[in-house]
Amino acid sequence: MHMTIDGYGGSEELLNNEQLVRELLDRYPAEIGMTKIAPPYVVAYDGADKPEDYGVTGFVIIAESHISIHTFPGRGYVWLDVFSCKDFDTDGATGVIVDAFNLTAITQRKLERGLEFPHAIEEATPIAMWERTDVTRQLVEVDAGS
């Protein structure tokens, strides 16, 4: 599942709070049933040549994939991605973000990923072996043509 949230009408003070974003990324994985495997990485951005784009960006690597947050305090926006190979309560995950930044509106999107790849090892093994064989065959053909 890949869930995105575009949040609007957030508090400029909260959206510009680097410590808040760090603490959120530190606790959020456990709150949505994920496993954090590295500390969050968070940076403040001054906007450089586009001062209106100042904000805070952060991400955390989870065993299931990653979570990222990008805030735009002057605009009241936050963008969040949760990419996970594990199902999770997307509505509950959204509520945490709405509350953290006092958002007044959101657009949430859900994209199912990896649908063509079975999640059971016994089903995935033949597909992986076929892919490896096909790549090897292509390499041999290229090498033979040299």
Among residues 71, 70, 5, the alpha carbon closest in space to that of 32 is found at: 5
pLDDT tens-digit series, residues 47-83: 888 888 899 999 999 998 999 999 999 999 999 999 9
- Pick 140 or 42 by higher pLDDT: 42
Residue 132 has pLDDT above 90, yes or no: no
Residue ranges covered by each domain of the chain? 2-115, 118-146
Q: Exactly one of 2, 11, 68, 70 is catalytic; which is it?
A: 70
Picking from 1, 35, 33, the residue whose alpha carbon sits closest to that of residue 113 is: 1
Q: What is the pTM of this model?
A: 0.75
The structural architecture, per CATH, of the domain 2-115 is 4-Layer Sandwich (3.60)
Does 65 participate in catalysis according to the annotation? yes
Is residue 85 part of the annotated active site? The answer reads yes
How many Cα atoms are found within 13 Å in the side-chain-facing hemisphere of 48?
A: 1
Bridge partners of 94? none
The answer to whether the beta carbons of residues 90 and 3 sit under 8 Å apart is yes
